[in-house]
Structure 1
Amino acid sequence: MRTTVSEIAREAGVSPATVDRVLNEREGVRPRTREIVMQIARRLGYFGPQEDTTTDTQLRLDFVLPAGSNSFVRTLKKYLLEESRGRADVTANIHEIEGFDPDRLSAKLTDLRGHTDAVGLIALDHPQVREAINDLTKSGVRVGTLVSDIRSVDKIGYVGVDNRAAGRLAGFLLGRFLPRGPHNIAVFIGSLAYRGHEEREMGFRSILSEEFPEMRIIGTAEVSDDRDLAYSETMRFLDQGNISGIYNIGSGNQGIAQALRETRGKRKIAFIGHDLTDATRLMLLDRTMDAVIDQNPRVEAREIIRLLASSVKGSTEPEFLPRLQVVFRENIPAN
Structure 2
Amino acid sequence: MASSRPKMDEIARLAGVSKATVDRVMNNRAGVQDHTRKHVLAIAANLAGEPALSASGTVCLDFVLPGGSNAFMADLVSQIERRAELRGDVDVVIHRVAGVDPEQTAAALGGLRANCQGVGLIGLDSPSVREAVRRLIASGVPVLTLVSDISHVGRMNYVGIDNRAAGRLAGYLIGRFLPGAAGKVALLAGALAYRGHEEREMGFRHVLSESFPRLDVVAVREVHEDPDRAHDEVRALLEEHDDLLAIYCIGAGQDGVARALTETGRDKSVIFIGHDLTDQTRHYLLSGVMDAAIDQNAQVEAREAIDRLVRTVRDEPNIPTTTIRIQSVFRENIPSEV
TM over 0.5, shorter chain: yes
Classify 1:26/1:330 alpha carbon distance in 2 versus 1 (closer, same or farther; 3 Å): farther
What is the deviation of 1:84?
A: 1.1
CA shift in 2, pair 1:143/1:52, >3 Å: closer
Q: Which residue of 1 aligns with 2:251?
A: 250
User: Contact 2:166/2:294 (CA < 8 Å) preserved in 1?
Assistant: yes
User: In 1, Cα distance between the equivalents of 2:324 and 2:37?
Assistant: 15
Q: In structure 2, what is the equivalent of residue 334 of structure 1? A: 336
Q: 1:103 to 1:290 in 2, by over 3 A?
A: same
Q: CA deviation at 1:243?
A: 0.8
* 1:145-176 deviation digits (Å, cap 9, x = unpaired): 11100121121101111111111111111111
* Residues 53 and 12 of structure 1: CA distance in aligned 2, closer, same or farther (over 3 Å): closer
Which residue matches 1:60?
A: 60
Give CA deviations for 1:201-240 in whole Å, capped at 9, x if unaligned: 1111111111111111010010011110010111111101
Q: CA deviation at 1:110?
A: 1.6
Q: Does 1:11 align with 2:14?
A: yes
1 CA distance for matches of 2:143 and 2:199?
21
Q: What's the secondary structure of 1:289's corresponding residue?
A: coil
**Residues 303 and 320 in structure 1, CA contact (< 8 A), matched pair in contact too:** no
CA RMSD of aligned residues (A): 2.1
Partner Cα separation in structure 2 for residue 34 and residue 53 of structure 1: 15
CA offset at residue 89 of structure 1? 2.1
TM-score (norm 1): 0.92
Amino acid at match of 2:193: A
Q: Structure 1, residues 54-110: CA drift from partner, whole Å, max 9, x if none?
A: 557222100001110000001111111111122232110011111111111111212
Aligned to 1:234: 234
Where does 1:25-174 land on structure 2 (aligned, <5 Å)? 33=36, 35-45=38-48, 49-53=49-53, 55=55, 57-112=57-112, 114-174=114-174
Provide the C-alpha distance between the structure 2 equivalents of 1:221 and 1:316, rounded to a whole number of angstroms.
43
| Secondary structure of the corresponding residue to residue 99 of structure 2 | coil
- Separation in 2 of the partners of 1:71 and 1:222? 19
**Amino acid corresponding to residue 285 of structure 1 in structure 2:** L
Shift of 1:262: 1.4
Query: In the alignment, what sits opposite 2:272?
Result: 271
Separation in 2, partners of 1:267, 1:332: 19
Task: Decide whether the 8 Å contact of 1:113 with 1:136 is kept in 2.
Answer: no
Q: Distance in 1 between matches of 2:54 and 2:39?
A: 20
Of residues 62-71 and 172-181 in structure 1, the stretch that sits farther from structure 2 once superposed is: 172-181
C-alpha displacement at 1:317, in angstroms? 1.4
| Partners of 1:55 and 1:88 within 8 A in 2 | no
What are the equivalent positions in structure 2 for 1:171-320 lying under 5 Å apart?
A: 171-241=171-241, 242-264=243-265, 268-318=269-319, 319-320=321-322
| TM-score of the aligned structures, taking structure 2 as reference length | 0.91
* 1:255–1:93 Cα change, 3 Å: same
Q: Give the total of aligned pairs.
A: 332
> Cα gap change, 1:111/1:328 in structure 2, threshold over 3 Å: closer, same or farther?
same
**Aligned partners of 1:113 and 1:141 also within 8 Å:** no
Q: CA deviation at 1:15?
A: 4.0
Measured in 2, the distance between the counterparts of 1:322 and 1:264 equals 36
Cα separation, partners in 2 of 1:35 and 1:214, compared to 1, 3 Å:
farther
Q: Contact between 1:66 and 1:97, CA under 8 Å: does it hold in 2?
A: yes
Q: CA distance change for structure 1 residues 26 and 206 in 2, over 3 Å: closer, same or farther? A: farther
Residue aligned with 1:168, SS: helix
Return the offset for 1:128: 0.9
Partner of 1:321: 323
Q: Give the whole-Å Cα distance in 2 for the aligned partners of 1:111 and 1:27.
A: 46
Post-superposition offset of 1:42: 3.9
1:57–1:33: structure 2 CA closer, same or farther, 3 Å change rule?
Answer: closer
1:10, distance to aligned residue in structure 2 (A)? 2.6
The gaps in structure 2 that reach 5 residues or longer are: none
Task: Provide the secondary structure at the position in 1 that maps to 2:236.
Answer: helix
Alpha carbons 1:11, 1:299 under 8 Å: kept: no
**Identical aligned residues as a percent:** 50
Structure 1 residue matching 2:244: 3-state secondary structure: coil
Letter in 1 for 2:302: A
